[in-house]
Each structure stands twice: as C-alpha cells, then as structure tokens.
Structure 1
C-alpha cells in the first residue's frame, strides 16, 4: 500500500513548521491511546513513530513525507495530551502548539482523532473536539485497541460511546494495531480527503 515514508523534521513553533505543497494528515490523541502504533501500522513500519512504554514521549510535532500508490501527503504526529507527569507549564505549551497547528495549517486535510475504545472521552478530549469544530477541520475518530475486547464487548462499547454528543457513528473507524482491523478503511479515508 504505502511505498515510502521519510522523516522531514520535528518542530514546536509555527515558524519552524516545514513549508511543503502537499496535503497534510495529522494524528492526535491523549497519551497512551496507541497513536504511534496506529501510525506505524498504517504505513507498514515498526519504528517511524516512536512507541514507548512511558506515555508522553512525543513532545514536538513530527512531520513525515508519505508517498503511496494513490497519494503523496505529509503525516504529522502531534504531541499526546493529558499526560499527568509533565509540568503544568509544559502541558500548556503543548496545548498552545497543537492549537496553533490546527488553527493556522491551511493544507491540513484530515485530523485522525484517536480514542481508546475502552475509555469514555474526557474533558481534554472534549477540548480537542471543540477545536476541530471551531477551526472547521475534517476529522475521523479512530477507536483503537479493539483487539482488547471481544466482538460482543465492542458492540456494547459502541452503543455506550454513540450516546456521547461528540461521537458520531458515521465518523468512527474501529481499529487495532495488532490485528490491522480498520487499517484499509483509514487509508481510504485519507486518500478521499487528500484528493478532494
């Protein structure tokens, strides 16, 4: 599916973001929701996005060039939010950096908003949801770690999640980095948003 993936640069401030005439897709979610694993699964690499046992490893915005059969785009790995063992000042800096990216990045075509299927969205997820709405960004919700649940448990969780006002049944992809469930669906969503 994907033929080439290369690291471009890491940056924190908008002035340092790379200027590339390609559509962008960013991945965002709380620390420890499986964001790095989802990125690596999508692009068939084990080590492009850093996967660590300690949450909060991604502290900068990491930009990658992706060249696939159907599309070329820039993939942006945003810092995971909500990690408690980081100073309040650093959390605020991350928050500002993420918001600046969402607010000013004109070639951003799709936000992959990642939630652990086993957990309800919390206040920080709701802040992210409000930003995406306020800045009119297209997004898809990737419900990760589905391999941790049985099919019956997934069905039950979906019924519960769909009662939440920020969850839309038509805008969710059930995903697993272990079984690759949802990988093709996510890729097709990226192609669709980057080519329209």
Structure 2
C-alpha cells in the first residue's frame, strides 16, 4: 500500500460520549470550526465522496464519528469530532459540544494525534486560537492543517501562510496546507495519518 494511495477507511459508528465508544488500538482525531471543510477533507483522503457527510449547512457533524482504517496488521481509527462555533445550532447542542469534544480529547487513551483544521482563507479565528491554547495547556499532541488552499489567491499565499502560522504561534513549516477540491497537500496528510495509525 503506497503512502499516497487513498486511505482504506470505513464508517464504524457514532456516539455522543467517550465512554460509549468501542475499544481501539490507536486513534487520530480531526477537529475544527464548523464550515472549515472537515468532512470534505476526510472524504478526500479516502477518495470517497460520501464517506463523511458533507452539507452546505455548517454544524451537521454533531456526534463523534468513527472510521476504521482497514490497512496493515492493526486497525487504527480516524475520529471526526463535532465542529465548534456554529451559532445557529440549537442551544442544547451547542452547550453539549464542549463536554463532548473535551471529554474525548482528555479521556480517550488511544488518541495519539489531533489534526486541528483552520480555514486557510480567513486564518485562525478566536475560537481556533482558544482551541490551540487549550490543546497546548492540556499537552494534547496536535498538528495544524490549513484548509481551502485553493481559495487563497496565488499572489497572497506567501503572506497568508506567514500570517496564519503567526496566528497559530507556529512556524510556517509546521502547518500542513491542503485543498480537498484541488488535492493540494492531501497526499501529505494521508502520509501523516498513516504514520500515526500504522506505526
């Protein structure tokens, strides 16, 4: 299996709390603001259009969704966490998200890496910066992935990459830039996911 070939992943189940999730061997998680393109990116790295639910309405991912990586000897798991910051979601749902996300990130023993998605077109929002600060404070391993590379004009990309990295308090080389529609950086992200799940 080539490191650049699509991830062989399949949907397992959804849950609202960490304690109801099945046992695993190793997991990576994707988290980000609503409408950052998380579901589209998961579909892109698996080269499947309907694996993760994509909607024009932000905030549709309201549960912890598990996908099994069916490659190699082990069975790693890719976890799609609910998007944060969608104001039009029901108040009861919005109130539930922090406990759901933070509970998973702090309590899931199998978790080895969190990929935090930041909108490359607009840069890190206050919510993104709060999430990064929270991950650092709790010493949760994470990698920043900047989405929507194709939405940034080529003449502005160098400046945007510099500014986005600064907004995340990172060096430019620490950011993985991707575009789920154009395929930019998708092979790099696939390789990173595999390295964590199959190591």
TM-score, normalised to structure 2's length?
A: 0.90
Identify the residue that residue 144 of structure 1 maps to in structure 2: 147
Identify the residue that residue 59 of structure 1 maps to in structure 2: 62
Pick closer, same or farther for the CA change 1:90–1:52 going to 2, 3 Å: same
2:116 and 2:171 mapped to 1: Cα distance?
A: 12
Q: Is the 8 A contact 2:33 2:128 kept in 1?
A: yes
Pick closer, same or farther for the CA change 1:115–1:192 going to 2, 3 Å: same
Q: Which runs of 5+ in 1 are unaligned?
A: none
- What aligned pairs does 1:158-173 form with structure 2 within 5 A after superposition? 158-173=161-176
Identify the residue that residue 192 of structure 2 maps to in structure 1: 189
1:174 and 1:69 mapped to 2: Cα distance?
A: 27
Over residues 157-181 of structure 1, what are the superposed CA-to-partner deviations in whole Å (9 max), with x where a residue is unaligned? 1122233253432321110011111
Pick closer, same or farther for the CA change 1:126–1:76 going to 2, 3 Å: same
How big is the shift at 1:88? 3.4
Residue 9 in 1 paired to residue 36 in 2?
no
Name the Cα RMSD after superposition: 1.9
Give 1:125's match in structure 2, choosing from 122, 125, 128. 128
Structure with greater strand percent? 1
Identify the residue that residue 18 of structure 1 maps to in structure 2: 22
2:60 and 2:184 mapped to 1: Cα distance?
A: 25
How big is the shift at 1:137? 2.0
- What aligned pairs does 1:52-91 form with structure 2 within 5 A after superposition? 52-68=55-71, 72-91=75-94
Over residues 6-62 of structure 1, what are the superposed CA-to-partner deviations in whole Å (9 max), with x where a residue is unaligned? 211100112211112x21111100010100010000111101110001111000000
2:73 and 2:134 mapped to 1: Cα distance?
A: 30
Q: Which moved more, 1:98-107 or 1:149-158?
A: 149-158
